[in-house]
Chains A and B, each alone.
Chain A
Amino acid sequence: MLFKTASSPHNNQAYTVDQIMQRVLLALIPGTIAAIVFFGWGVFINIIIASITALTCEALMLNLRGRPIKPYLTDGSAMVTACLLALALPQLAPWWLTVIGTAFAIIFAKHLYGGLGFNPFNPAMAGYVVVIISFPREMTQWVPPLVEGYTHLNFIETFRLIFTGIAPDRFAWDAITMATPMDILKIQLGLELSINDIHQHQTYGPLFGSISGIGWEWINGLFLASGIWLAYKRIIDWRIPVGILGMLFFLSNSFALYDYASFTPPTFHLFSGGIMLGAFFIATDPVTASTTPKGRWLFGMGVGILIFIIRTWGGYPDGIAFAVLLMNLAAPLLDYYTMPRAYGHHWYEIPGYHKEDQDE
């Protein structure tokens, strides 16, 4: 009898890439549902548009590159990119904006660099940055949460608005869209209003809940919970989110302690905008993050510092995309200098470090 040959080890107990991506998608569901509940059907429509675009572009690029389509299309990585990008976009973003962002993410940020595993930048965030720089006005089309006194569109109205840009007659355009609580806080703090004043404000006050913006608290809380589940399942590395959130908390807390009235409090930082999505789902993208344990700490802390800087002094209210992309740039360097000490070796035997340099 002739036996088949294979390379050792002769069993495999690991997750496959598909299973990893499936679990990430699964973990996105609770937060996404909260986003739909609080901010309407726009979120859902964005995800559908982004998913169709992503899968189409993925298939197209695989075909152009002469790669097998089925195993790569079903690995789920394009879907993850699509969902992350869609969740980062304003609920009423026009359809072409979502398509452009997603297509850029898949075609340019992913496939032109060699596809899955070879892209230096987080595709979803690269796509996001392209649209936020190119279409700043459309990128402000956020809707107010489901609270008294604000307008809400039903599914048909939302669908029509996204695809045709025509708002229903019964509402004024100004009533439909509304800046996010983070935006408001940033602008009003810039206008020398104190945190307290903003909370008491006639127009903006009702947007704020007990922790951060209404709705955003829930979305971030649920992404936090499912992110912890992912880390527990070892789908993502816990060091990156802990580094980001820890650093963001430390910095925002320090500044808030220094001047409570004019700096955003840490609780608001940790439960506003896309922070939990960013910390657990975006920055943890293994392809573009650092891979060594120490490198992941530094990567996470770097993202945390940059988010705080951009949010506090930068030109954008959230800044996760820029923070992640900037740290993506640093990842190869971090990996190189944070190589773990190998068994039987001294720590100075890492490449690029020479003991002689130290002795001088």
Chain B
Amino acid sequence: MTEQSNRLSTFHGGLKLDGHKTMSLTSPIGKAVIPAKVIIPLHQHIGDTGELLVKEGDKVLKGQPLTLSSSYVSAPVHASTSGTIVKITDHKIPHPSGLSAPCVIIETDGKDEWTEVSPVEDFRQLDATELRNRIRHAGIVGLGGAAFPTAVKLNPGPDQKIDTVIFNGAECEPYITCDDMLMRERADDVISGIQISLYALNTNNGIIAIENNKPEAIGALNQAIKKSNATNIKVISMPTLYPTGGEKQLIKVITGKEVPGNGLPADIGIIVQNVGTMAAIHQAIHFGKPLISRIVTITGKGIKKPQNLETLIGTPMADLIAQCGGYKDDAEHLVMGGPMMGFTLTTDQLPVIKGCNCLLVETSELQKKSRPTMPCIRCGECVRVCPASLLPQQLYWYASSKNFDKVQDYHLFDCIECGCCAQVCPSQIPLVQYYRFAKTEIWNLERERQKSDHARMRHDFRQARLDKEKQEREERLRKKKEMLAKKQQQENAESGEEDPKKAAIEAALARVKAKKEQAGLTPKNTDNLTAGQQKLIEEADKRRNQSKAE
């Protein structure tokens, strides 16, 4: 049941933003048409890329895995529809730097034919490990945007007891409505996925956290909870305040606890999962279907018909835009994600990936409002709104002067890059950009340091090994000598007289000496000098001694 929000905690700062959500909420979730080609990047998540299972020319069915994850933190990708692989090559992917990465390009056949799936009747028959394996093979990652492999998150480790799982339906960024629509239309799927997660984590305390600007979603979920008689799940309605949906802020609001500075939510017995991920888990377990589609909000003032579309992974963004009526004339920016944390794309010839929750088309109206960047006047507005209680103006100061020690003293790595500070900055300083720059630089330095540490360690090891070998050799030699000497002594003691060899050598040396004395001393170039030469030498010696004394 919905709890009243008066027992909730608050986090520092935050911003009340214009939602702009209604524009994409007017029509139900549509279905994106199957494009002529889907472009599936092999790497769409945090972690390692899987091994490729297919080759060019292969026919693939919908849901067929394209990669196999061999490492722990990884997720496979699947064919999102049936067709033929025409190429496996580098293709541009949605990335802030416009990078290209290996992609499987499938020419679709329009049949949308499923591969064989293995649904599970009752997930309670399986143990947690088996459930996690299925979720892992279904390629499920966090659909809130970060795309962290869900199976890993569902396995906090034996020494961590999870007592609360928070299901994040806050959706605090303006414009985005994909989670809202999902909760309204597919509340049963969400609840079913939540039950699987709670079972896998062996806990009975599930909280669905939703901002109070989504009463329809709250109602639908409550109804679904009632229908399934789920006593272990409750819905909490929270005040609408950006960034309530941030993991750390959400935990603070719901539980009043704070995630330790360098820790994870699991350290305080909490896990946060996105509601969209729960619907994907439901699909993966109950129907055996891997993650091959997601709901994408296509919205913004520069798009003709904003709406939510259930989109196959790999669909080119241009196809989605076209389905939404295309761009308006004044469209100027294409943003993946929300207006606060999303990044701009240079082109729409990019595939939709698992972490793509929103395509936002902004107009030139924004550009007109903005002014050139002015110097920081230390007004402190950023301090007031920072949800991590940082001092953004000091971070900016030290980041721009590349003082990477100081910037860490001011807790740079607790910055969640929510953009509140830049939003309120009267000097229009792109603050978050500076923090990203500083973080990247520090990571680079750290990598360099690790590399040099590694090299130094290897050098030290080698040196130690060589030293040891040398010592051992010397030890061996010494022992051998000792042994020989002992033997000699013994022999001498036994024979009772002087060593004949030694006596012979001494005799020879004595002979040589006598011969030398006879022949006179070896001539030197200082012998037989004239008086003048002698004087010069004496003077030189004097000078030398003097300069030495000085």
Contact = CB atoms under 8 A, between A and B. Distances in A.
Nearest to A341: B389
B372 interface: yes
A16 B423 CA distance: 11
Nearest to A352: B409
Interface stretch (B27-35, B112-120, B177-185, B390-398): B390-398
Interface of A: 1-20, 71-72, 75, 115-118, 234, 237, 286-287, 289, 291-293, 296, 335, 339-345, 349, 351
A16 B417 CA distance: 21
29 contacts: A1-B327, A1-B331, A3-B346, A5-B344, A5-B345, A6-B344, A8-B419, A10-B339, A10-B342, A10-B344, A10-B360, A12-B423, A14-B423, A17-B427, A19-B426, A71-B374, A115-B375, A116-B375, A117-B376, A237-B380, A286-B378, A291-B379, A293-B380, A293-B383, A340-B391, A342-B390, A342-B411, A344-B248, A345-B261
Contacts of B376: 117
Given A10-B360, A116-B374, A342-B261, 7 more contacts: A9-B419, A11-B366, A14-B425, A17-B374, A340-B391, A344-B259, A349-B411
- The binding surface of chain B is classed by DSSP as loop
Contact of B423 (A9, A293, A343, A349): A9
Given A3-B345, A8-B340, A291-B391, A344 B423 contact: no
Contacts of B410: 339, 351
Chain A facing B: main interface SS: loop
Contact of B391 (A15, A116, A292, A345): A292
Contact of A291 (B331, B367, B393): B393
Top 8 closest pairs, chain A to chain B, by CB: A117-B375, A9-B419, A351-B409, A5-B344, A10-B339, A7-B433, A286-B379, A7-B430
Contacts of A118: 375
B11 interface: yes
Interface string B1-44: 00000000001100001100000000000000000000000000
A10 B335 contact: yes
Most buried by B among A3, A343, A345: A343
Given A2-B346, A10-B333, A117 B377 contact: yes
Contact of B411 (A10, A292, A345): A345
A39 to B, nearest CB: 32
A346 to B, nearest CB: 8
Interface of B: 11-12, 17-18, 174, 248, 252, 258-261, 263, 327, 331-335, 339-348, 360, 362, 366-367, 369-372, 374-381, 383, 387-391, 393-394, 406, 409-411, 414, 417, 419, 422-428, 430, 432-433
Of the listed residues B369, B378, B383, the one surrounded by the most CB atoms of chain A closer than 10 A to its CB is B378
Nearest to B408: A351
Given A4-B344, A8-B340, A342 B378 contact: no
Contacts of B422: 7-9, 12
Nearest to A19: B426
